[in-house]
Amino acid sequence: MGETKLHILELYSGIGGMHYAAELANVGAEVVYSVDINTSANEVYRHNFRQTNQQSRNIESLSANEINKLKPNIVMMSPPCQPFTRVGLKLDVEDSRCSSFLHLLDVIPHLETVSFVLMENVVGFETSEMRNAFTKALKSCGFYIREFLLSPVSLQIPNSRNRYYLIAKKFTNFAFGTETDIMTAFPRNSCDINMPVEQRTLEPYLEKSFADEELARFLLPAKTLMKYGRILDIRQRTDVSSCCFTKAYTHYAEGTGSVLQHDSSESFREKFAEFEKDVNVAHLESLQLRYFTHREIANLMGFPAHFSFPEKTSLRTRYRLLGNSLNVHVVSSLLKILLE
């Protein structure tokens, strides 16, 4: 790519997943400007990227003129997913949280230096009016597009997080797929995506040791075990999968993410059978069922070891911010494909 680095405009930047993906991809691109309106997310972002020009502002206040002065080559973004999510009202373009995205559609035709776009959202976006408007705006400006529904499982990462992705570029078409297909796997022979030989277990992503008081912070309360013990998604260190962690993880028990059997010396099946027999929660407590820590979730989502939260960020906020973030490895792989 030569000495000149490509400039990235990072929109809806959250806690910096796109930024880390760009670093991991190592494609000679740097984030020159980052925007999000979420105060908590911005604090985490600035804590980790002190040198980046990160602005807390509404994207609707960004004009084409202001963006053109930054001379970005790439726009990376992860717009609000609530208008399209399975647990939302699915108001689509009528949702007020789409207003900034709709503003971007008006801005895109006037961007002078942008040749590449990468966007992430929830499954469901692909059937939305917003998707139709977005792809129409890109195509009218000469972009070729490819769309995907991908999970980290595609990269042998033991965590399910199925998401919609769009990549777009000007001037040359992609050497794979068509604009009418939504791909559910990475294209074959695409750049140098590092695919492990076999599916990884959860073990390498877990924290190595816990002090007793630290473990106590993450153990599921007895009342949660009693009420939800039968529906919890319980995983062991040797498992090769886990459920998607949402922003409600630890706040709601059902459908928000897996829990871990910390004491692997006990037989889960035996203890659960005993619990079913006499409904004594002590049987389940002996398994030391705990929530995955925020660090472990960050590991599964591809955030590097040096990523951290400010000390003042509460545990619940850490889980919420991670639940709203993205998988760094998936985005990094797509960025390589986009720029190859």
Q: Which of 81, 141, 191, 244 is catalytic?
A: 81
- Answer whether residue 27 is part of any domain: yes
Residue 192: per-residue pLDDT:
54
- Answer whether residue 1 is part of any domain: no
Q: Are strands 29-36 and 116-122 parallel, antiparallel or unpaired?
A: unpaired
List, as one string, the DSSP characters of 61-108. G--HHHHHHH--SEEEE----TTT-TTS---GGGSGGGHHHHHHHHHG
Domain identity same for 119 and 89: yes
Residue 191: per-residue pLDDT:
52
Residue 124: per-residue pLDDT:
92
Question: Backbone dihedral region of 26: left (phi > 0), alpha (psi from -120 to 50 degrees) or beta?
Answer: left
Indicate the pLDDT class of residue 158, thresholds 50, 70 and 90: very high
Q: Is the pLDDT of residue 293 over 50?
A: yes
Domain identity same for 178 and 93: yes
* Residue range 111-119: mean pLDDT, rounded: 98
* Residue range 233-240: mean pLDDT, rounded: 96
Residue 99: per-residue pLDDT:
87
What b-and-e string marks burial along 8-46, b requiring 16 or more CB atoms within 10 Å of the CB?
bbbbbbbbbbbbbbbbbbebebebbbbbbbbebbbbbbb
- Answer whether residue 55 is part of any domain: yes
- The Cα 322–Cα 79 span in angstroms is 15
Domain identity same for 80 and 133: yes
- Answer whether residue 238 is part of any domain: yes
Question: Which range has the worst mean pLDDT, 17-21, 98-102, 172-176, 283-287?
Answer: 98-102
Domain identity same for 232 and 182: no
Indicate the pLDDT class of residue 81, thresholds 50, 70 and 90: low
- What is the CATH classification number for the domain harbouring 37? 3.40.50.150
pLDDT digits (tens, 9 = 90+) for 5-59: 999 999 999 999 999 999 999 999 999 999 999 999 999 999 999 999 999 999 9
Indicate the pLDDT class of residue 98, thresholds 50, 70 and 90: confident
Helix (H) or strand (E) segment spanning residue 312: none
Closest listed residue to residue 169, CA positions, set 2, 336, 1 = 336
Which residues span the domain enclosing 170? 6-191+326-339
Domain identity same for 239 and 163: no
Closest listed residue to residue 218, CA positions, set 268, 265, 248, 262 = 262
Domain identity same for 162 and 77: yes
Residue 199: per-residue pLDDT:
80
pLDDT digits (tens, 9 = 90+) for 309-332: 999 999 999 999 999 999 999 999
- Answer whether residue 310 is part of any domain: no
Structural domains counted in the chain: 2
189 or 248, higher pLDDT: 248
Q: Are strands 163-170 and 234-235 parallel, antiparallel or unpaired?
A: unpaired
Domain identity same for 229 and 273: yes
Closest listed residue to residue 102, CA positions, set 65, 68, 139, 60 = 60
Domain identity same for 173 and 215: no
Ranges of H-type helices in the chain: 17-25, 39-48, 64-70, 99-107, 129-140, 212-218, 222-228, 268-278, 282-285, 294-300, 315-323, 328-339
207 or 83, higher pLDDT: 207
Q: Is 244 designated active site?
A: no
Residue 289: per-residue pLDDT:
97
What mean pLDDT value characterizes the chain? 92
- Answer whether residue 224 is part of any domain: yes
Closest listed residue to residue 138, CA positions, set 120, 115, 122 = 115
Residue 96: per-residue pLDDT:
62
Residue 64: both structure tokens together: 């084409």
